[in-house]
């Protein structure tokens, strides 16, 4: 007799990728599991279990990777193989010791002092073109692809995907029992051309996550002040705005109280920053739902991120010593600053 499936408390919606990562020390990580959904799920799992992942995968996504995700105790009912052709490959190049991303990927590939990776033949870097307002892309999550059981979850984080996913999914999720919904912006619509569309997406969110780079592009020509940007987004109808600033930590703005917090980044020994922002979002989701304290949530997000960046494998953080995350959390609390 089949055992009953445990309820899912937290759901992560996003992308699974085949990651290729070039690091400044000439280390090249080839063809390993990656993608924002995986890193966000790991960031959440640092603190809690019962996490389900929703993502679209095509026929060539390795079954052994899906089984590995399952072995780490993630619920995989939301991983659906689709008939669409999806290029899951993702190449990230960090060009210096500050881990700045090099966007000229073709030049990097041509300059490899090693045999050209067979898996990257035909790879084209993603363009800076804007998302479509009405045409789904290969990673666009359709509402029917979310398992019915996931609609009884406690909280959901939607990773960076595309405009259509971010516009439609929150309303669909709220039709269930889900009231805590966070979203991380996609670069395909954080552009002045989408200015009038952003309020439709923001209204009703619990947390609007974004990077300094993305939100600065959206507000180009309006303001260069990050706190003014946060207040403008908050006025569109979300409870909290978080702006990630890499090694400089995060800005947290509370809509109701108008409080502004600077949450520091934990001083990790960074080996690979891929997935750091996604891990932060996953940790924040769990932290907020379990405490309803946004500062505590941001601290837990920072610790999740600090563990992820110290390894090159996306599951590295889950092998951390017992108690390490909580110990780091206590240290970081003393460095929070209200402005």
CATH code of the domain in which 104 resides? 3.40.1190.20
In a domain, 5, yes or no: no
Task: Report residue 93 as tokens.
Answer: 């190049």
**pTM, 2 dp:** 0.95
**Angle between helix 324-333 and helix 294-308 axes, rounded to 10 deg:** 130
Distance between alpha carbon 292 and the CA centroid of its chain, in Å? 20
Q: State yes or no: pLDDT of 187 exceeds 80.
A: yes
Min mean pLDDT across 53-57, 113-117, 119-123 is at: 113-117
Task: Report residue 334 as tokens.
Answer: 């003393």
Q: Is 24 helix (H, G, I), strand (E, B) or coil?
A: coil
Question: Please, which pLDDT band fits residue 334 given cuts at 50, 70 and 90?
Answer: very high
> Which residues make beta-bridge pairs with 254?
240
Give just the sign of the alpha carbon dihedral 135, 139, 145, 148.
Answer: negative
Taking alpha carbons only, the member of 45, 50, 48, 41 closest to residue 12 is: 41
In a domain, 151, yes or no: yes
- For 3, residues 6+ apart whose C-beta sits below 8 A from its C-beta are none
Q: Mean pLDDT, the chain, as a whole number?
A: 93
Give the pLDDT confidence score for residue 109 in this predicted structure: 65
Q: Which domain holds residue 40?
A: 10-338
In a domain, 127, yes or no: yes
- For 112, residues 6+ apart whose C-beta sits below 8 A from its C-beta are 28
In a domain, 2, yes or no: no
Q: State yes or no: pLDDT of 108 exceeds 80.
A: no
In a domain, 230, yes or no: yes
Distance between alpha carbon 288 and the CA centroid of its chain, in Å? 16
Of residues 124 and 110, which shows the higher confidence score?
Answer: 124
Total structural domains in the chain?
1
Q: Is 306 helix (H, G, I), strand (E, B) or coil?
A: helix
Distance (Å, rounded) from C-alpha 20 to C-alpha 223? 36
The fraction of the chain above a pLDDT of 90, given in percent, is 81
- Per-residue pLDDT tens for 12-62? 999 999 999 988 877 889 999 999 999 999 999 999 999 999 999 999 999
In a domain, 3, yes or no: no
In a domain, 252, yes or no: yes
Could you identify the residue written with the tokens 């110290």? 310
Backbone angles phi, psi at 244, to 5 degrees: -85, 135
Distance (Å, rounded) from C-alpha 32 to C-alpha 115? 18
Min mean pLDDT across 123-127, 274-278, 302-306, 324-328 is at: 123-127
Q: What is the CA radius of gyration of the chain?
A: 19
In a domain, 4, yes or no: no
Give the pLDDT confidence score for residue 3 in this predicted structure: 40
């Amino acid at each position: 007799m089949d055992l009953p499936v445990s309820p899912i408390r937290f759901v992560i919606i996003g992308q699974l990728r085949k990651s290729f990562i070039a690091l400044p020390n000439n280390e090249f990580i080839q063809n390993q599991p990656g993608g924002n959904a995986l890193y966000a799920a790991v960031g959440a799992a640092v603190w809690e279990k019962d996490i389900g992942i929703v993502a679209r995968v095509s026929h060539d996504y390795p079954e052994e990777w899906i089984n590995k995700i399952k072995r780490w105790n993630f619920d995989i009912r939301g991983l659906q193989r689709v008939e669409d052709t999806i290029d899951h490959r993702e190449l990230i190049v960090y060009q210096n010791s500050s881990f700045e991303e090099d966007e000229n990927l073709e030049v990097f590939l041509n300059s490899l002092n090693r045999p050209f990776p067979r898996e990257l033949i035909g790879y084209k870097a993603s363009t800076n073109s804007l998302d479509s307002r009405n045409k789904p892309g290969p990673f666009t999550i359709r509402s029917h692809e979310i398992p019915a059981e996931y609609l009884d979850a406690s909280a959901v984080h939607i990773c960076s995907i595309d405009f259509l996913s971010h516009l439609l999914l929150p309303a669909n999720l709220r039709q269930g029992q889900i009231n805590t919904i966070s979203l991380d912006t996609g670069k395909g619509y954080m552009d002045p051309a989408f200015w009038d569309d952003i309020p439709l997406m923001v209204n009703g969110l619990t947390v609007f996550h974004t990077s300094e780079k993305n939100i600065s592009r959206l507000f180009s020509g309006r303001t260069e002040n990050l706190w003014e940007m946060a207040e403008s987004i908050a006025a569109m109808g979300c409870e909290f705005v978080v702006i990630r600033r890499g090694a400089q930590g995060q800005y947290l703005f509370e809509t109701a109280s108008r409080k502004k917090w600077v949450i520091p980044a934990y001083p990790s020994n960074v080996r690979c920053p891929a997935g750091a922002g996604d891990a932060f979002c996953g940790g924040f989701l769990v932290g907020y739902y379990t405490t309803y304290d946004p500062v505590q949530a941001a601290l837990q997000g920072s610790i999740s991120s600090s563990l992820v960046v110290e390894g090159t494998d996306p599951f590295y953080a889950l092998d951390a010593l017992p108690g390490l995350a909580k110990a780091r959390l206590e240290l970081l609390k003393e460095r929070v600053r209200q402005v």
